[in-house]
Amino acid sequence: MSYLIFIVAAFALLGGFFVLTNYEVRRGVRYFATERDRLDHVVERVVFVSQHVDIGAFLRNEIRRFFGRLSHDIAHLSLQTIRAAERVLTRLVRYLRSRHVSDTAPGGNVREFVKTLSEFKDGLKATHPEVTDVQDTLQR
């Protein structure tokens, strides 16, 4: 049934075309002249392109160009993402290093250790006599 509708519509348009051209010839006037000239120009261009352009090669070239551009954009986006992650990690490491340095600053336990070490050295000096250099004893 739907085929019959398309066939009737095509015959109606064809009949309308013949009636319009016959009317224009009798009157000597062309209706919608500028629009029809523009349409004729577009149709001529489409016919010229369809006859002279290798559509398959054109489509292959355009698809290759599209995927080349797409791969370039993906690589650029991934590089920007990696650089952003690098900046975040660099800031984090800088923060952690500065925090670590301040945490290992000398505290109370270190002072006690130094104090104990100093007392031990003083005790060693008190129990052992000073050793003089051999050259000093020979010169005397």
pLDDT beyond 90 at 108: no
SS (H, E, C) the chain: CHHHHHHHHHHHHHHHHHHHHHHHHHHCCCCCHHHHHHHHHHHHHHHHHHHHCCHHHHHHHHHHHHHHHHHHHHHHHHHHHHHHHHHHHHHHHHHHHHHHHHHCCCCHHHHHHHHHHHHHHHHHHHHCCCCCCHHHHHHC
Q: Summarize pLDDT for 112-134 with one digit per residue, the tens.
A: 888 888 888 887 777 766 666 66
pLDDT of residue 127: 74
Query: CA 6, CA 12: separation in Å to the nearest integer?
Result: 10
pLDDT of residue 138: 61
pLDDT of residue 56: 92
pLDDT beyond 80 at 110: no
- Whole-model pTM: value is 0.43
pLDDT of residue 104: 56
Q: Summarize pLDDT for 23-72 with one digit per residue, the tens.
A: 999 998 888 889 989 999 999 999 999 999 999 999 999 999 999 999 99
pLDDT beyond 70 at 137: no
